[in-house]
């Protein structure tokens, strides 16, 4: 279920274009999560960079269950930090990091960690579907603005070529092409 408020997608498109202009990134160029993080003053770490992380936890995150998590954004003493999974593909890392950065842009409240003695030291985090949907929408729009997709599809680039050009996954390109209706628009244009 999509929890986005009316007008949010249009706002995300305008915000994406504004970010690219502010950072000096062309509409046809990849948007680097590192560049966005620097602009926002957010640090980007792998688990290896987390102070005090135990070898057991590193082993769990990076060797035993590297596919069980993607990225997390936290605030420590007012400093925003994104911790991402370096075992994922580069395209997936770009999406995961940008998703967490979108939470910072949107000024979302961080998820709460709920510790329970009944769970043998395990924890659960609260989950806000609306915030997750907003962060996905903004992140994916930052990475692949509709205008960029119109240009790429207008030049008859394939999904693979667009993914390569923007440094994202093919599945993200396919999703954004479908979600934005770019191909439908171009077909209608070619009929006139």
Listed by start position, the domains of the chain span 8-141, 144-192
Q: Can you name the residues that pair with 71 across neighbouring β-strands?
A: 84
13-28 tens-digit pLDDT? 999 999 999 999 999 9
Q: Which two tokens stand for residue 118?
A: 């009944």
What's the pLDDT band for 126 if we cut at 50, 70, 90? low
Pair 105, 43: CB distance under 8 Å: no
137-182 tens-digit pLDDT? 999 999 999 999 999 998 999 999 999 999 999 999 999 999 998 8
Length of the chain: 192
3-state secondary structure of 54: coil
Q: Which residue has the tokens 């957010």?
A: 42
Mean pLDDT across the chain, nearest whole number? 89
C-alpha span between 123 and 57 (Å, rounded): 13
User: For residue 2, is pLDDT > 80?
Assistant: no
Q: In the prediction, which pLDDT does 33 show? A: 97
């Amino acid at each position: 279920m999509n929890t986005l408020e009316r007008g949010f997608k249009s706002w995300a498109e305008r915000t994406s274009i504004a970010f690219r202009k502010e950072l000096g990134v062309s509409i046809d160029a990849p948007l680097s999560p590192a560049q966005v993080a620097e602009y926002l003053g957010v640090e980007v770490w792998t688990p290896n960079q987390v102070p005090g992380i135990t070898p057991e936890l590193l082993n769990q995150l990076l060797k035993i269950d590297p596919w069980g998590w993607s990225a997390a954004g936290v605030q420590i003493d007012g400093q925003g930090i994104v911790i991402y999974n370096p075992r994922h593909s580069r395209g997936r890392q770009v999406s995961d990091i940008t998703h967490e950065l979108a939470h910072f842009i949107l000024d979302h409240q961080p998820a709460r960690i709920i510790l329970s003695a009944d769970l043998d030291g395990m924890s659960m985090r609260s989950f806000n579907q609306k915030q997750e949907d907003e962060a996905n929408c903004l992140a994916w729009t930052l990475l692949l603005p509709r205008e960029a997709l119109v240009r790429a599809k207008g030049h008859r680039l394939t999904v693979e070529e667009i993914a390569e050009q923007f440094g994202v996954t093919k599945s993200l390109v396919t999703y954004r092409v479908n979600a934005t209706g770019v191909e439908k628009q171009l077909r209608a244009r070619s009929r006139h």
